[in-house]
Amino acid sequence: MDDTVKQISSRLAAGGVNIVFTGAGISTESGIPDYRSKGGIWENYKPVTFDEFMSSRDSRVTYWSRKAELYPDLVKAEPNPGHEALVSLYEKKMLEAVITQNIDGLHQAAGLPEDRVIELHGNTLRARCMSCDAVVSIHEIQQRIECGDAAPECDCGGFFKSDTVSFGQSLPEDEYTRAVELSQTCDVFLVVGSTLVVQPASLLPVFAKQNGAFLAIINLSETPCDGMADVLIREKAGEVLPRVLEELDKGRRARR
């Protein structure tokens, strides 16, 4: 592992455009349950599709009851050493942006500027009206649910939905376009905690590698891109990323 960590740190330090792509693996270390793994959310709950949400009040009630059940884990979650290490990389001017599949806002909570986090699947800390596009805090929605409003609606009569991407709903166009552009022009593409199975987000490391980027993957389980990776580490993000920082600091001290 020491050699692979050194490879990552040396490539990050070499200059150029460095991108990190994060998935559920970095957030599970903060107590956020994931969706697809054994024991994950979708093993216990059938997801409510976007069409179901829009066409059925019963589906909206089911949708929000599940969100309310997950709310305590969401509000008590805090950034872990993996999130904090990415902030340190940004402060060292070695990180251009984080592209994330996560919806928990922990990258911003750790200190990354909002404009440096590209949220492909939205953010569950917000709710958005499906009619007028008004945005409110998820805390306001939770309060309404606890007061008996099982499927909160906007003043305009539209349906409030978590500002996240549901099955059957398109990715936010601007965010995905920016993510593709960065992937195609970056020098380092570092995958952290993603199984790389959800399309089209899973295509981003392929775009990066096809355009000559150094591809590193830090993930506990296998991914479809393992065979094309320059470096592959099967460890927790919260353990590996701080070691990358340590190597960067060693290299900086050695150059003095």
Which residue numbers are catalytic? 121
Sheet containing strand 117-119, strands side by side: 117-119, 97-100, 18-22, 188-192, 214-218, 231-233
- For residue 161, the 8-state DSSP code is E
Contact partners, residue 36, CB within 8 Å, separation at least 6: 24, 42, 195, 197
Contact partners, residue 55, CB within 8 Å, separation at least 6: none
Q: Does residue 141 contact residue 64 with C-beta atoms inside 8 Å?
A: yes
Query: Cα(193)–Cα(139) distance, rounded to whole angstroms?
Result: 27
Question: What's at 175, amino acid-wise?
Answer: E
Q: Tally Cβ neighbours within 10 Å of residue 132.
A: 11
Residue 106: phi, psi to the nearest 5?
-70, -25
Q: Does residue 225 contact residue 217 with C-beta atoms inside 8 Å?
A: yes
Query: Cα(211)–Cα(151) distance, rounded to whole angstroms?
Result: 46
**Which contacts of 201-207 are long-range, i.e. CB under 8 A and separated by 24 or more positions?**
201/21, 201/99, 201/101, 201/120, 201/121, 201/171, 204/21, 204/99, 204/179, 204/180, 205/21, 207/180, 207/183
Q: Tally Cβ neighbours within 10 Å of residue 196.
A: 22
